[in-house]
Amino acid sequence: MTRNIRPALLVLQDGSVFEGEAIGANSSEISAPVIARGEVVFHTGLSGYQEILTDPSYAGQIITFTTPHIGNYGTSAADSESSKIFARGVIVRELARRRSNWRSDDSLDSFLKRHDISGIAGIDTRRLTRVLRDSGAMPGAFGTASESELRQAAAKEKGTAGRNLIAQVTTTKSYVHGAGKFKVVAFDFGIKTTILNCLAEFATVHVVPASTSAAEVMALSPDGIFLSNGPGDPEMVHGAPATIRELFGTGVPMFGICLGHQLMALALGGKTFKLPFGHHGANHPVRNLATKSVEITSQNHNFCVDADSLAGKAEVTHVNLNDNTNEGMRVLGANAFSVQYHPEAGPGPHDSRYLFGEFVSRMEAK
């Protein structure tokens, strides 16, 4: 398969410039010049580009894939984690010209066009990753516009710190997923389809908007409460920590993942901070402090819980072996626990699926 090549540029806020070619939306030679801007991050997973792109947690970000060949196996409608792409754009070294997978129903390039998402290929992603590793995730802009226009756009981009992105991803109306034994109320801060499917294996899941009050949750008589993943700065999700704090007192088992973990920490009076370049990949080693075992985990977050701020309020249960940051906790005095990583691991390893079993055990005991 051949296609016309339209030159494009990527410009970071520090002035770094990368030459490439436009892919996805607006890559046609007859399209008007386009600019995509956001916080540029890198992901180290070898596969799962479709699941990563459709993960609502990437709202506001431009995703750099460090794997050199992307798009080899195309895309499949069954593999999307949400109904759309919330990321601002995609950066790759080389976009596969052909897809080879019996499950595939579309190419990655066509998938991006259908979702109106721009990308840039031909980028030296090794060099770009080194820049982000040394300087941290930073705002940037790419597209077919002039270099001066892209520099202006990159300079104006504010990144994800200090921004509440939940309104872009949460459901506006409650809905039910699955028909399992237990009744679980799941806060949608940007929930992934794979998480819903994991919960549906044992529960009827009532998915509610992020702004749902504690009284509204308890009116549903839940056996368990789930706090989902999501994008942006946890300290900007106003109202959620107070709601979670109120729900602690009900005794209903509570399980949080990713942003849900961070919000649970804020509800305890803890603090969060922004990581230099975040954790984005499917190969992060995490130690379970109780069992001493190491789990290979799938991760996607820019912010982290300050473990010291939880002293006397929660017990740290998991630690990232790459940088010793907090990856999990058990709340003292409440029936609640959480992890920073993604035990549903779609895509990725399944080392941490036991956490859903722990949630079930807590609901059975209750």
Give the C-alpha separation, 300 to 229, whole Å: 9
The active-site residue out of 51, 235, 327, 344 is 344
Could you tell me if 141 and 202 lie in one domain?
no
Could you tell me if 320 and 223 lie in one domain?
yes
Give the C-alpha separation, 317 to 118, whole Å: 40
Residue 249: inside a domain: yes
DSSP letter at 33 equals P
Could you tell me if 201 and 342 lie in one domain?
yes
Residue 2: inside a domain: no
Q: Where residue 146 sits, what CATH number does that domain have?
A: 3.50.30.20
Residue 170: inside a domain: yes
The active-site residue out of 43, 279, 284, 342 is 342
258 counts as catalytic: yes
User: SS3 of 78, please?
Assistant: helix
Could you tell me if 28 and 139 lie in one domain?
yes
342 counts as catalytic: yes
Could you tell me if 115 and 37 lie in one domain?
yes
198 counts as catalytic: no
Chain centroid to CA 354: 21
Could you tell me if 339 and 243 lie in one domain?
yes
The total number of structural domains that make up the chain: 2
Task: Using alpha carbons, list the distances in angstroms from residue 148 to 92, 131, 142.
Answer: 23, 21, 11
Q: Which amino acid is at 61?
A: Q
Give a three-class secondary structure readout of 5-24. CCEEEEEECCCCEEEEEEEE
Domain closes at, from 156, 176, 202: 156
Could you tell me if 65 and 214 lie in one domain?
no
Residue 265: inside a domain: yes
Please tell me the pTM assigned to this model: 0.94
Domain closes at, from 130, 156, 182: 156
Could you tell me if 91 and 230 lie in one domain?
no
Q: Quote the domain boundaries for residue 347.
A: 166-365
Q: Where residue 209 sits, what CATH number does that domain have?
A: 3.40.50.880
Could you tell me if 95 and 227 lie in one domain?
no
Could you tell me if 152 and 170 lie in one domain?
no
In the chain, the largest separation of any two C-alpha atoms, in whole Å, equals: 63
Could you tell me if 39 and 100 lie in one domain?
yes
Residue 71: inside a domain: yes
CB 9 within 8 A of CB 152: no
Helix (H) or strand (E) holding 205: strand 203-209
Could you tell me if 27 and 72 lie in one domain?
yes
The active-site residue out of 21, 43, 258, 295 is 258
Enumerate the β-bridge partners of residue 287: 294, 319
Render each residue's pLDDT in the chain as its tens digit; 366 residues.
455 689 999 999 999 999 999 999 877 766 778 899 999 999 998 899 999 999 999 999 999 999 999 999 999 999 999 999 999 999 999 999 999 999 999 999 999 999 999 999 999 999 999 999 999 999 999 999 999 999 999 999 988 888 889 999 999 999 999 999 999 999 999 999 999 999 999 999 999 999 999 999 999 999 999 999 999 999 999 999 999 999 999 999 999 999 999 999 999 999 999 999 899 998 899 999 999 999 999 999 999 999 999 999 999 999 999 999 999 999 999 999 999 999 998 667 788 999 999 999 999 998
Domain closes at, from 94, 129, 156: 156
